[in-house]
Amino acid sequence: MLPRLPLAAFLALIPYLSLAATASRAQELKRFDGYQIVRVEVNTQAELAALEQLGVEILNCTPGIGPMDVLVSADQLAAVRGVARIERVLQDDVQGMVDRERAPLAVAAVDPFADFFLSYHPYEGIGGIVWYMNELVTRYPTLASMVNVGTTLEGRTIWGVRITSNAVVTKPAAVYFGCEHAREWITGTVPPYMANYFLENYGVDPQITDLVDHVEFFLIPVFNVDGYIYSWTTDRLWRKNRRNNGGGVLDGVDINRNWGEGWGGPGSSGTMSDPTYRGTAPFSEPETRALRDFFIAHPNVRVQLDVHSYSQLILWPYGYTQALSPDQAVYQDIGSAMKSLIYGVHGVNYNIGPLYTAIYPAAGVSVDWTYAQRGILSYSYEVRDTGFYGFILPADQIIANNEELLPATLHMTNSDWVRSPLRFEFPNGLPSTVTAGADTPIFLRIIAQSESVEPGTASLHYRNDPSGPFVVTPLTPLGGLDYQAVLPATNCTSTPEFYFSVEGSGGTPMTNPRQTPTARYYSTVVVSQFLTFFQQNLDGNPGWTKQGLWLWGHPTGGGGTQAGYRDPTSGHTNSYVYGYNLSGDYPNNMPEYSLTSPRIDCSGRSGVHLTFWRWLGVEQPAYDHAYVRVVSDNGINWTTVWQNETEVADSAWVFQDLDISAVADGQPTVYLRWTMGSSDGGLTYCGWNIDDIGLYSTLCNGMMGDYNGDGRVDQEDFNQLLTCHAGPDVPVGPGCAIFDFDADADVDLRDFAEFQLRFTGP
């Protein structure tokens, strides 16, 4: 008689047993003995094409010009060297990685449900991905059900799990899907992880309960089912679907180049053997047709998340053109918050941006179609890591990877674009400060999603005292979708809070920011004046500290031949600027080189902002870097207040206003620094050009002229004015800004005259 194994242990063996059976039916599992993964510098399209012609596998999810990770056999290594420079070897034993990934867990410890995220799983069979979804449905029958999304080329079902409660009937939907590219196994763990998290926390965590009550989730672990199964049975590094293109080799179609928006454009290939082969026509593949039809059949879908690996990126439309989408500001806002949320969990950095500029052009991708054709908020992740393990991410990172994606994914799904029947936009932004004694207009737009605006219901709610009630005033319609709100004038002692409300045509009340499950408001700071206390227009050489090719002088319009635009041919005002290489691009492989200001005294200043005009070209931050930094402790701990989060390619002077108050407020020893570099060996851009640098502070410590804050402008204040009065063009002394009535950064006779007018007696 056989020894009795615990049931769990037996179940855990099954996927591996069934896998072995499938593999022997198909063909032997491809071996990677002697293969390495190397990172090569691809500098031109010709080099990229030459590399592809060698028959080596480019592993980046989106191939292009830049550092490319390439799978090479021992025989191919010399040929690759002949085409492009090998920067480094990422992995020298690919077969070892594949073997380690497949080693089953210690059998006795395995509970195939509870331990699901400790290892990767095949699609089918007990313990597999479909089994796990069915198990969720069995365990949470009132919240979860299986969804048939459609059928693949080889006749398999693309399964998803639908999760929502019956609390509300009409609701928006969210679609998250993984494994559009077969070998990106980590991405197939994301939808089931979210599914389990939602189900486990429903009725426990108010935010999750609210979400599951008000959003219909369709979570699809594996979109490219045939390719995924093939990556288990035959070729671990298979990417595309299983289309036989008729060229003698079954080489598949990249279904993330097969969507209809911008199909056939840059970053997709018409060559059948290429990794980005787009197919014969938009939606030529049954997989893309199935998911397209699923979106059309579910018009309530308002957010989709297409999960890829690897590179650690948050991406949004467009992929097929460098034009920014009309909703770029919304994507950027939500994307920046997602980046911070991911970083906050395990300190892992994700870069963000539109696909075209944050990685490479990629035409025919899912996010472009769902956004442009369905009005869906559409993001794509490239998840862990940045290439060390690449697609073969060790299973012990599955949970950490999903833990850090969770809050960002919730944030995206909770956005107004998804959750509200109407959506508010603020094309000019919301006021972070308001001026004491003056009305503050706010321009806004209300976009109909599932309902339109009930006339006369759009309102502003505000209060100046956080413990008081809100006052409601109607918004002024400006025609079309546009409205104006006015925050009424208030004084320096108040801390205004506000929100907006509107009723939908279906009777749904909604607010912005959304007030459920906890009340949230916008808040703003009252300032009485902006005081510019430092100005450097660079019209004469200020002699700041320079490294490398930083120079003060006349820019010559050079550079920009490889990427981006040229340098300017003059300053923002007058001729002169500080620039990195005034006559061309920054060089390849440079370290960080900085321009540093002399000491600036910010004592007595609050709410300090740095302003300057920039004309900058720098490649995306996977390769090249530009920074603005500030220090207040004698150059010890520099704080980065700005860095390029995407490619920057200015073709005109751009105004910058950076809040440096956290570092500079009240500090007597502040230095500013602009840094160029580091750069890699790829493309170079025109680099930094800066002009018209200023610092301003914000002031709201009572009435102008009332130095001692007793509510009167009297003799005591006059005595202080005499101390502060230093004449024209002498910088305002510490604490003296309250006498700078005309805000020209000095206390002179004009301010003296203004003081006399306001004098309330001794």
Write down the least CB distance from residue 314 to Zn ion, Å. 14
- What is the CA angle 613-615-620, rounded to 5? 120
Q: Nearer to Zn ion by C-beta: 61 or 446?
A: 61
Are 445 and 500 contacting, i.e. CB atoms less than 8 angstroms apart? no
* Shortest separation between residue 235's beta carbon and Zn ion, angstroms: 16
Judged by CB, which is closer to Zn ion: 232, or 593?
232
Fill in the DSSP letter of residue 257: G
The residue (of 369 and 755) whose beta carbon lies closer to Zn ion is 369
Phi, psi angles (nearest 5°) of residue 197: -65, -45
Among the listed ranges 58-66, 139-147, 154-162, 264-272, the one in contact with Zn ion (CB under 5 A) is 58-66
Nearer to Zn ion (CB atom), residue 181 or residue 214 = 181
Rounded to a whole number of angstroms, the minimum distance from the CB of residue 307 to Zn ion is 8
Q: To which residue do tokens 């052009």 refer?
A: 361
Region of 176-184, 588-596, 667-675, 715-723 interacting with Zn ion (CB under 5 A):
176-184
Residue 659, CA atoms < 13 Å, CB-side half-sphere: 7
In this structure, which amino acid lies at residue 27?
A: Q
532 within 8 A of 745, measured Cβ to Cβ: yes
Compare residues 61 and 71 and give the one whose CB is closer to Zn ion.
Answer: 61
Q: Which residues are catalytic?
A: 382
Looking at the Cβ atoms of 387 and 555, the one nearer to Zn ion is: 387
φ/ψ of residue 19, rounded to 5: -60, -45
Nearer to Zn ion among residue 370 and residue 415 (C-beta): 370
Instruction: Say which amino acid occupies 604.
Output: G
The footprint of Zn ion on residues 380-419 (CB under 5 A) is none
Structural element, H or E, at residue 66: strand 66-72
Q: Rule CB under 5 A: say whether 181 interacts with Zn ion.
A: yes
Closest to Zn ion by CB, 61 vs 237, is: 61
Based on CB atoms, which residue is closest to Zn ion, 179 or 699?
A: 179
| Residue appearing with tokens 């990877």 | 401
Beta bridge partners of 219: 161, 176
Question: Candidates 173-181, 519-527, 536-544, 594-602 — which segment interacts with Zn ion by CB under 5 A?
Answer: 173-181
Shortest distance (Å) from residue 187 CB to Zn ion = 7
Minimum distance, C-beta of residue 43 to Zn ion, in the bound complex (Å): 23
**Contact string 133-172 vs Zn ion (x = CB under 5 A):** ----------------------------------------
* Binding residue for Zn ion, selected from 183, 236, 308, 384, defined by CB under 5 A: 308
Distance CA 739, CA 754 (A): 9
Count of residues near Zn ion by CB under 5 A: 3
Instruction: Calculate the alpha carbon distances from 558 to 111, 352, 411 in Å.
Output: 64, 29, 43
Q: Give Cβ neighbours of residue 270 (< 8 Å, ≥ 6 apart).
A: 264, 277, 278
Residue 62 contacts residue 119 (beta carbons within 8 Å)? no
**Tokens coding 703:** 């009435």
User: Parallel, antiparallel, or unpaired: how do β-strands 301-309 and 173-177 relate?
Assistant: parallel
Q: How far is the CB of 70 from Zn ion (least distance, A)?
A: 16
As a whole number of angstroms, the distance between CA 479 and CA 533 comes to 41
- The secondary structure element, H or E, covering residue 366 is helix 366-374
Q: Give the end-to-end CA distance of the chain in Å, rounded to a whole number.
A: 108
Cβ-contact 391, 237 below 8 angstroms = yes
Distance CA(694)–CA(679), nearest Å, equals: 28
Stretches 53-61, 123-131, 133-141, 729-737: which one binds Zn ion (CB under 5 A)?
Answer: 53-61
Round the CA-based radius of gyration of the chain to a whole number and report it: 30
Nearer to Zn ion, 181 or 243 (CB): 181
Measured from the CB atom, the residue of 181 and 384 that comes closer to Zn ion is 181
Could you tell me which stretch among 60-68, 69-77, 421-429, 580-588 binds Zn ion (CB under 5 A)? 60-68
Max Cα–Cα distance, the chain, nearest Å:
108
Contacts of 30 (CB under 8 A, 6+ apart): 234, 235, 236
Q: Residue 61 interacts with Zn ion (CB under 5 A)?
A: yes
CB of 71 to Zn ion, least distance (A): 15
Residue count of the chain, please give it. Answer: 762
Fill in the amino acid letter for 547: Q
Q: Tell how far CA 48 is from the center of its chain.
A: 27
Rounded (10°) CA dihedral 309, 311, 316, 322: -120
Report the residue number, 382 or 692, with the smaller CB distance to Zn ion.
382
* Exposure b/e, 394-412, CB count within 10 A at least 16 = b: ebebbeebbebbbbbbbbb
What residue has token string 């004694």?
437
Using H for helix, E for strand and C for coil, what is the string for 123-176?
CCCCCCHHHHHHHHHHHCCCCEEEEEEEECCCCCEEEEEEECCCCCCCCCEEEE
C-alpha 594/C-alpha 249 separation (Å) is: 54
Could you tell me if 525 and 661 are in contact, meaning their C-beta atoms sit under 8 angstroms apart? no
Segment interacting with Zn ion, rule: CB under 5 A, options 127-135, 179-187, 368-376, 537-545: 179-187
Residue 184 beta carbon to Zn ion: minimum distance, rounded to whole angstroms: 5
> What is the Cα–Cα distance from 508 to 422, expressed in whole angstroms?
9
Secondary element (H or E) of residue 24: helix 7-25
Using CB under 5 A as the criterion, which residues of the chain lie in contact with Zn ion when the complex forms?
61, 181, 308
